Each structure stands twice: as structure tokens, then as C-alpha cells.
Homo-oligomer: A and B are copies of this chain.
């Protein structure tokens, strides 16, 4: 059974979307006994016209009885709902989760791949693949795309492709060097993405965290200044999310600073900033890359991160509230959902 669904996902990705839509309509009609088109459209958050197309179809299948008084479910419709119940969770559990998380954080889109990146590398790859689709869909001609580092972003970079060379696009690192391994550097990832898609890329050869003096003098350099300006005007930002302490350690942040951040409740790290559980930024620092105020004005901010252990961190960054799209995996999503659940009580 499960394998059939997997096949259909590949061969007809929107099959499940349509199926869910029709299922939800049918269910809503059943719960409402008798209901009119307009109020049904409102309660399902659909426009009247597309709902109408669907109800017309359901009527033609005799799953819905629809007359001048309104519509109600037929016997065959009830039977179908019953028979479908056992499949529902397997088929649409993730969609439900997506919708829940999307709504709670006010995101434009949430994509969840099944599995746990912590446990299985395959899930990590899936995550990368999903990130690619999202990115591809959001990219337009002449876009500048800023990307951060990290293993997840590296997965995205290694799977990104494009049918035709995207000569007009420009990939840039969101931040300067952060003392990570070369493969996971933002610079590396930006260049990989550009090479794989036939796009342009520019590097930012500057350490990320800078003292005021160094910052000022670097920004005097015309070539640094120019690329920094390009970065700060990126239309799309793609970033990973990490655990604050893990990242701090990996980046050899000063022990005293680490302690300070810990004291302030630092939980998550993303595009060089550290966030506490409420999405507040802990420890603002001068940077040559994207600053918070740039992020806030970026048109499309895409977060990509997965693994059960990252659930909390992801939730923290989402609470920061300037992301538009979240791509994650099932394990992390379940953690996030649990956090939402807990605090809504």
C-alpha cells in the first residue's frame, strides 16, 4: 500500500493534493449535514469557483447530493469516507503537519519530507532535493540568491540542477567565513550551486565576525564593499538552522561569549545569528554579510533544516518570524508540532 503511494508521488505529484482536497470537501459536507456552497467555501478557505468545480465533480460521481436546498453527502460518499479513513494518516499526515506549522508561524509554505535526517542520510538527501524544488520554483530571472553554509545546504547544493543555464542568476554567500570546514562554507556552497546551474557567483573572502575597526576598514575596500552590497540586496535567502551550542563550538567562538549566550538562553543558530526560544536574537554582532535588517526585507527567505534534534532550534528561528518557507523532515516537524501544542495549552 505504502509503495503505491510512493509511486504515485513520483508519477503524479499532485494526485495526493487533489485527493486530499476532495476528501476534505466530502468530510466537511458530512460534518455539516447540509451546507451551501458559499459557506462551505469559506470554511475550507477556498474560492467559490474552484470549490464549485470540485462539488460538481463529486456530484457527477454521486458522492454528493446537491439540490436547490444545498448539498449533503450521499450514502456512497459516506462509505467512501469510511473506507478511506485507514489510509488518511499515511497519505496526508505530513500535509496536515505542514498546514499546522505553516499556519502557526504564518509562513507561505512548509514542505516536510518523511524520515529523520539524524538517523538516515537518505532523509538528508531527500531534504536537499525538496529544498532544490522549492528554490527552483521561487527563482526568477536576474535574481540574486544568498546562501548560508552547513551540511544541509551542502546537500541542496549538490543536488541542484537546471535544465537550461541560468546565466542571469547570481549566487552569493550570505555571510563571510565562519571557520567551518571548507565543504560547508557559504562560499563553497554558493559556487557549487552556481556551477551546477550555469549561473554566476561571487565570493566574499572576509571573516564573518569583525571588530568595528576591521569592519570599517574592510568596507572601504571597493571590491569588498561592492559584493557586500549585492549580498544585502539578495531577493532570495536560503539558510540552514543549527543548534546554538553545537555551532558555537564548531566555530570556536570564545568560551566567555559562549557562556554569555548560554546565560541568555541561546538555542538556535542561523545565518550567523543566535536565537533564544522566543526567536529573540542573542548577541548581535557586526557582520560583513547579511544583517538582520536585510533579512527582514528579503522577499523570499527559505529555511532548510531537519532531524529530530533540530526541532527546537527550528521552532526558535521560525518564531523570529522573517522566514517565508520552511523545508524540514518528519522528525523535526513532529518536534515542532509538539512545541506548538505544548505552549498553546
Contacts and interface: CB of A to CB of B under 8 A. Distances in A.
Interface string A122-156: 00000000000000000000000000000000000
A4 B80 contact: no
Given A1-B4, A87-B4, A19 B10 contact: no
A211 B3 CA distance: 66
Nearest to A76: B10
Q: How large is the interface on A (under 10, 10 to 19, 20 to 34, 35 or more residues)?
A: 20 to 34
Interface in A1-60: 1, 3-8, 10-15, 18-19, 22-23, 59-60
A62 to B, nearest CB: 8
Given A1-B1, A4-B4, A11 B83 contact: no
Contacts of A76: 10
A61 B10 contact: yes
Nearest to A63: B10
B7 A12 contact: no
A60 to B, nearest CB: 8
Which are the 6 A-B pairs with shortest beta-carbon distances?
A1-B1, A15-B15, A12-B19, A7-B84, A11-B22, A4-B87
How many of these chains are in the complex?
2
A66 to B, nearest CB: 10
Given A6-B83, A12-B19, 20 more contacts: A1-B1, A1-B4, A3-B83, A4-B5, A4-B87, A7-B80, A7-B83, A7-B84, A7-B87, A10-B63, A10-B76, A11-B22, A11-B61, A11-B80, A12-B15, A12-B18, A13-B61, A15-B15, A15-B18, A60-B163
A28 to B, nearest CB: 15
A10 B80 contact: yes
Nearest to A20: B11
Nearest to A66: B163
A6, A10, A23, A63, most chain B CB atoms within 10 A: A10
A60 B3 CA distance: 21
A4, A7, A22, most chain B CB atoms within 10 A: A4
A85 B92 CA distance: 24
Contacts of A15: 8, 12, 14-15, 18-19
Contacts of A1: 1, 4
